[in-house]
Amino acid sequence: MSATWYECKIKYRKLEEETGEYKLKTEPFLVDAISYTEAESRITQEMAAYLREGEEIKITNIKVANYAEIHPFENSDRWFKCKVSLIAFDEESGKERKTNQYLLIQGNDVKEAYENTMTAMKDTMAEFTIPAIAESPIMDVFPYFSGEESETKELEKFMALKDSVPTTNEIDEDLALVDSLTADTE
């Protein structure tokens, strides 16, 4: 059974890390559900972790999202909507046919999203092109898992990838200075 993803726009008070204040924000989230009613129920449950005691959310919109697949990647913090054109040859007419599908890919920038899309599509036997990649406003993705033991490992893997934090490389200024001085003498 394929997943149906619902994009839910939520208005809630979000903590601004820079200022430490709560500001009213409207942000889209993605939920795997079988109906609008279940999507509403699931997003309400999932958003409870983001709220302070006694606060509520307001669901401003729910719509079916047009994503064929969702691919989280480790150490990535943004979501990108990638348009993939599958190319097939029609033997009857002798023409090339393109079928477009959209993937939601996690990455830190467009280049990494492209590389992650290529990784996600590596086992595809059909020819394909990637005509467009754009940053998505989606803040978070909440997949559905039934709770059965067979899905527990899948859930743990998905959540570990999705929640991984990008690593930053710290530059040791003393070593950088030494490197720049030795490069000047060569």
Q: What is the 3-state secondary structure (H, E, C) of 109-153?
A: CHHHHHHHHHHHCCCCCCEEEEEEEEECCCCCEECCCCCCHHHHH
Q: Is the pLDDT of residue 176 over 60?
A: no
Q: Is the pLDDT of residue 164 over 80?
A: no
Which segment of 53-57, 148-152, 165-169 scores lowest on mean pLDDT? 165-169
pLDDT for res 180: 56
pLDDT for res 59: 95
Interval 98-108: pLDDT, tens: 999 999 999 99
pLDDT for res 103: 96
Q: Is the pLDDT of residue 132 over 70?
A: yes
Q: Are 9 and 20 in contact (CB under 8 A)?
A: no
The CATH architecture one would assign to domain 1-65 is Roll (3.10)
DSSP states along 45-112: HHHGGGSPTT---EEEEEEE---SEEE--TT--EEEEEEEEEEEEETTTTEEEEEEEEEEEEESSHHH
Interval 9-24: pLDDT, tens: 999 988 888 898 989 9
Share the mean pLDDT of the chain. Answer: 84
pLDDT for res 86: 93
122 contacts: CB under 8 Å, gap ≥ 6:
none
- Return the domain boundaries, the chain: 1-65, 66-136
pTM of the model: 0.75
pLDDT for res 14: 87
Give the residue with greater pLDDT, 46 vs 145: 46
Q: Is the pLDDT of residue 122 over 70?
A: yes
Interval 30-66: pLDDT, tens: 999 999 999 999 999 999 888 888 888 999 999 999 9
Of residues 31, 4, 32, 29, the one with CA closest to residue 14: 29
Report CA-CA distances (Å) from 116 to 20, 132, 149, 169. 34, 14, 29, 21
